[in-house]
Amino acid sequence: MKKIIIFLFAALLALMSCSKSPEKLLIIYSYHPEYEWCRQEKRGIEDVFSDQNIIIESFYMDTKRKTNKTWEKNITNEAILKIKSFKPDLVIVCDDNACRLVAKQFVDKKLPFVFTGINEDPKVYGMPAKNITGVIERKLISGTIGLLKKLDPSVKTIAIITDNSPTSQATVGRFTQENFPVKLYEVYRTNNYDDWKKYVRKIQTEVDALGIYMYFTLEKVNSEESVPYAQVLKWTMENNTLPTFSFEEFSVQDGVLCGETQSGYEQGKEAALMAKEILSGVKPSALPIVIPKKGTLMINEKTAQKLEIVIPEELKQKAKIIH
């Protein structure tokens, strides 16, 4: 009789375990579904959870294409309502805007958060906190310039052009002469598409290479909608004769000459691995912030050919060549 009772008790525990409701994960993206960085982050997160019994929902804030304060306020309220209605067990926030606008409101509360793709110092957002940890994105400057110099040893002076988005503002403050092994002529920021074009034309005779960072919040005069980023980069590459570099994988894929890049996939994957630990019972405060130290060397072969740059054999072995 005793054995039967033990067996029934064990069976009951097993049944209860099997009937446990799946955990719920909410991913809040700063930008829009079509944005390549978001696609990469999404793949990285979902790959980690592909074998898990978990419900995943996504929320996109679309703050690259829509940059006015009214949209920011309204979409933030929608994100908070989504959290309240979905009742997730954990939230992953991707990139600075979601962290700044949403996760910051939950510092030291009960709901656990993991951030990823953050360019700003997380201390600005009050993080890490007892319920929040995550992954920081840092630009791999020395590797990128080293790669550029191997492709074109004559490069001695560079400039960097970028939009004036929160992402750029959080990053370019760390672009100083001390960080660069070549002369940094200047970092030019603008959200005006006409000014961007003027600068690209002007800088051609003043430096040896041009860094292209963010180009997603450029607007035409009297418009609150950003110019499609593919259009911006296409125009830039067609009107530029300098070797170019970037720190973003998608930029090299789309035409920039080279860079040591960090992918959204790796950022998403690292965040998901941390989230997985937290959902298993580890406290967020026990997980230190992660800063990936190494990226992927990338070279765009078509751009190299256009610039009459011969890719050394050693780089063909070490770098990812975009054909």
Q: How far apart are CA 278 and CA 90, in angstroms?
A: 8
Q: What is the CATH number of domain 141-261+296-322?
A: 3.40.50.2300
Domain boundaries, the chain: 22-137+264-286, 141-261+296-322
Long-range contact pairs involving 111-115 (C-beta distance under 8 Å, separation at least 24): 111/83, 112/278, 112/284, 113/284, 114/90, 114/271, 114/274, 114/275, 114/278, 114/284, 115/271
Q: How far apart are the first and last CA of the chain?
A: 73
Q: What's the DSSP call for residue 284?
A: G
Q: Do domains 22-137+264-286 and 141-261+296-322 have the same CATH topology?
A: yes
Strand partners, 136: 118
What's this model's pTM, rounded to 2 decimal places?
Answer: 0.80
**pLDDT of the chain, 323 residues: tens digit per residue:** 555 555 545 554 554 444 568 999 999 999 999 998 999 999 999 999 999 899 999 999 999 888 889 999 999 999 999 999 999 999 999 999 999 999 999 999 999 999 999 999 999 999 999 999 999 988 899 999 999 999 999 999 999 999 999 889 888 888 999 889 999 999 999 999 999 999 999 999 999 999 999 999 999 888 778 899 999 999 999 999 999 999 999 999 999 999 999 889 999 999 999 999 999 999 999 999 998 877 899 999 999 999 999 999 999 999 999 99
Q: How far apart are CA 80 and CA 303, in angstroms?
A: 44
Q: Provide CB contacts within 8 A for 189, sequence distance 6+.
A: 161, 162, 163, 164, 168, 169, 172
Arch. (CATH architecture) of 22-137+264-286 = 3-Layer(aba) Sandwich (3.40)
Residue given tokens 């019972």 in the structure block: 281
pLDDT of residue 6: 53
Q: How far apart are CA 212 and CA 161, in angstroms?
A: 5
Q: How far apart are CA 168 and CA 175, in angstroms?
A: 11
How many other C-beta atoms are found inside a 10 Å radius of the C-beta of residue 93?
32
Q: What's the DSSP call for residue 54?
A: E
- Token duo for residue 81: 């309502």
pLDDT of residue 17: 47
DSSP helix/strand/coil, 55: strand
pLDDT of residue 206: 98
